[in-house]
Amino acid sequence: MRRLLLRNLAYSLIFILFTACKTYTLNDAEPVTAVEKTVENRYFSSKEDYVYKCQMDIYKNHVSGILIIKKISENTHRVVLTSDFGNKLIDFEISEEDFKLNYVLPDMDKKIVINFLKNDFRELLKRNYPVSQSFENKTDYIYLSKADKRAYYLFFGKENQMLKQIVYTKNNREKIDFSFDAKKHIFADSLNLRHKDFKINIKLFQITETE
C-alpha cells in the first residue's frame, strides 16, 4: 500500500497541471525607513536534531512520516524522511549551492520528486536575507529581500519579534507560503509549507524540542 501511494505521488507530480498565479500584493502595510540591513530565519540554526511529524498532501495523495533536520556544518543541513514505521524514504544533504542525495526509496526516485523536495527545502532552510525595503502593519514588521527575479517577504510579529511567515515570490508571483508557529527564535513548533501554483502542502508538527 505504501509503495503504491508513493508511486501515485510521483505520477501526480509528473502530470501536474499548473494554474496561473496572481501577482503578489502586500496589503495593509506602509513603507518605513529601513533599519535592519539583514534579517534571519533562525529556526534551523541549532546543531541539535529538529524532529517533526510530517504530513505531505500532493493533489489527492497523502504521505505521512517522521522528518529529521540537522545542521551538519555552517551552510549545510541533512534532511531525512522516514515512514511512520521507521523505514527510510529519502536522505539528502543540502545548502544554498549544493545538493547530495544519500538515499531515496526507488518509488520516490523520480527527477521531479527530487527537484520538488530539493527546491522546497532549500527555500525553507535559507537563513540570511539582505533587506531591500521595510514595511509594517498593525501586527508585523515586514522585510522585503530581493535576489534576481526572486523576492521574499518576511513577517516578524511586533509582540514577540518571532518570524511568523515567509512569502516567496518569483517574477512578482507568489510561489510558496511558509507559516511558522514558535515560542523560541531557533525552533518552530509547527510549520506549514503551501504552494500557490499547484496543490502541494507540507505540514510539520514538533516531536522533540531543541534547547
pLDDT digits (tens, 9 = 90+) for 7-63: 555 545 444 434 445 678 888 899 998 788 999 999 999 999 999 999 988 767 788
DSSP for residue 153: E
Whether 178 contacts 166, CB under 8 Å: yes
**What's the predicted TM-score (pTM) here?**
0.86
CA distance 98 to 52: 24
The grid cell for 74 is 555552517
DSSP for residue 12: H
The domains of the chain, with CATH numbers, are 2-208 (2.50.20)
Q: Residue 82, SS3?
A: strand
CA distance 174 to 184: 27
Tell me what the pLDDT averaged over the chain comes to.
87
